[in-house]
Copies of this chain bind each other. A is one copy, B any other.
Amino acid sequence: MSVKNQITIAEIARQLEVSKTLVSLVVNGKGDKHNISESTQKKVWNKVKELNYKPNSVARSLRTGKTQSIGLIVADIANPFYARLARIIEDYLRPFGYHLVISSSDETAENEVNLIDTMIEHQVDGLIIASTQKDSEKFQELQSKNYPFVLIDRYINDIQTNYVGVDNYSGAYSMTKELLKSGYDKVYYLSVTPDYLSTIKERERGYLDALSEIQPLIRKVDFNAPHKDLENIIKEIMNADIHKPVLFSSNNHVAKACLRIIRAYGIKIPEDIALVSFDDIELFEFSDPPIAAISQPIDRMGRFAADVLLKQLSGKTQYPVKHILKTTLVNRKSF
């Protein structure tokens, strides 16, 4: 059952009749710095290969206080947005010797706090979090302990932290303007509950500001069970015989639910009702018709976040650092 015959530095030292220190130094590439002779170093390396020695990083971590691991906490790793983000971050971090511990908070603030605590117990060197917290309490605690972390996608009010995200406000603003320009003046904005997330609030603000004189039409949808709410909203719109109605979904999850309902009812996009969404996903490109959306630069977000954390870990920069990236409007024939 248990793993046997683990070769340690002590075993190498014993066989070579040198000290553990010597072996440690060589293995960690500090041989030259300590003027250890070529021949001794070679001897060590040969033994390392012969015995297939692998350092025990747990022991090293206990000693150095560094685990070379980064915690990534997102709402749901199965969500393509976060999955892609995870992949980008992993690729960026690996060359620096870090690996990722990934967990999903399931959009629950309490779960998230538990995950953060667990990860800290496991001594991850830093945290990247797409947070679902309502307030800044937990992050204040992290800051007071000097724990390196960067918020991604969503920020939290009342606290200055590292943050990488997109300009949700102007994304929603420009999409709304685009709709108005195309003659849509009944723009139904589909927000979600719970609605305290910064992304959701900013998008709604962008929508409202773009409307200016026009009557806002905000509808709230239960994020975890959007179907029923959406069915009512869509029925309401269709029955009221509105001229050129358009649904502006605040995220891809709700937009997919819209598509299902619209298809089930045999409603035509964009003739009967138009549909656009925040957060572009591959599916929108292939759906019938393709759905216009606000695309987020996921790759750049991920790299920036990883980079900010890395810099903080190496003590190289001032904090906090904020990166707000621009979104892109992907125009497709859904409106």
Interface residues of A (CB under 8 A from B): 1-5, 54-59, 61-62, 65, 67-69, 76-80, 83-84, 86-87, 90-91, 94, 99-104, 117-123, 145-148, 256, 259, 282-283, 286-289, 315
**Cβ-defined partner of A122 (8 Å) among B57, B78, B86, B288:** B57
Known: A4-B145, A84-B78, A103-B90. A62 touches B65 (CB 8 A): no
Known: A54-B121, A83-B83, A123-B58. A146 touches B104 (CB 8 A): no
Residues on B with beta carbons closer than 8 Å to the beta carbon of A259: 286
Instruction: Evaluate contact between B77 and A80: CB separation under 8 angstroms.
Output: no
Instruction: Evaluate contact between A87 and B76: CB separation under 8 angstroms.
Output: yes
Top 10 A-B pairs, shortest CB-CB distance: A288-B288, A83-B83, A78-B87, A286-B287, A283-B283, A78-B84, A102-B102, A58-B123, A58-B61, A1-B315
* Copies of the protein in its oligomer: 2
Residues on B with beta carbons closer than 8 Å to the beta carbon of A1: 146, 148, 315
Instruction: Evaluate contact between A101 and B103: CB separation under 8 angstroms.
Output: no
Instruction: Evaluate contact between B146 and A2: CB separation under 8 angstroms.
Output: yes
Residues on B with beta carbons closer than 8 Å to the beta carbon of A118: 99
Q: How far is the CB of A123 from chain B (nearest CB, A)?
A: 5
Cα A289 to Cα B283 with chains together (Å): 13
For A287, the closest partner residue in chain B by CB is B286
Residues on B with beta carbons closer than 8 Å to the beta carbon of A80: 78, 80, 83
Cα A167 to Cα B58 with chains together (Å): 39
Residues on B with beta carbons closer than 8 Å to the beta carbon of A3: 65, 145-147
Residues on B with beta carbons closer than 8 Å to the beta carbon of A289: 288
Residues on B with beta carbons closer than 8 Å to the beta carbon of A83: 77-80, 83
Residues on B with beta carbons closer than 8 Å to the beta carbon of A99: 101, 103, 118-119, 122
Q: How far is the CB of A83 from chain B (nearest CB, A)?
A: 4
Cα A286 to Cα B263 with chains together (Å): 9
Instruction: Evaluate contact between A56 and B121: CB separation under 8 angstroms.
Output: yes
Residues on B with beta carbons closer than 8 Å to the beta carbon of A91: 104
Cα A77 to Cα B69 with chains together (Å): 17
Cα A58 to Cα B289 with chains together (Å): 53
Instruction: Evaluate contact between A67 and B58: CB separation under 8 angstroms.
Output: yes
Residues on B with beta carbons closer than 8 Å to the beta carbon of A102: 77, 86, 90, 100-102
10 further interface pairs, Cβ-Cβ under 8 Å (given A56-B123, A288-B289): A1-B148, A4-B146, A54-B121, A78-B84, A86-B102, A90-B102, A101-B102, A283-B287, A286-B286, A287-B287
| Interface pairs (10), CB distance under 8 Å | A3-B65, A3-B146, A3-B147, A55-B121, A58-B122, A77-B87, A90-B103, A91-B104, A100-B101, A287-B288
Interface centre among A2, A90, A102 (most CB of B within 10 A): A102
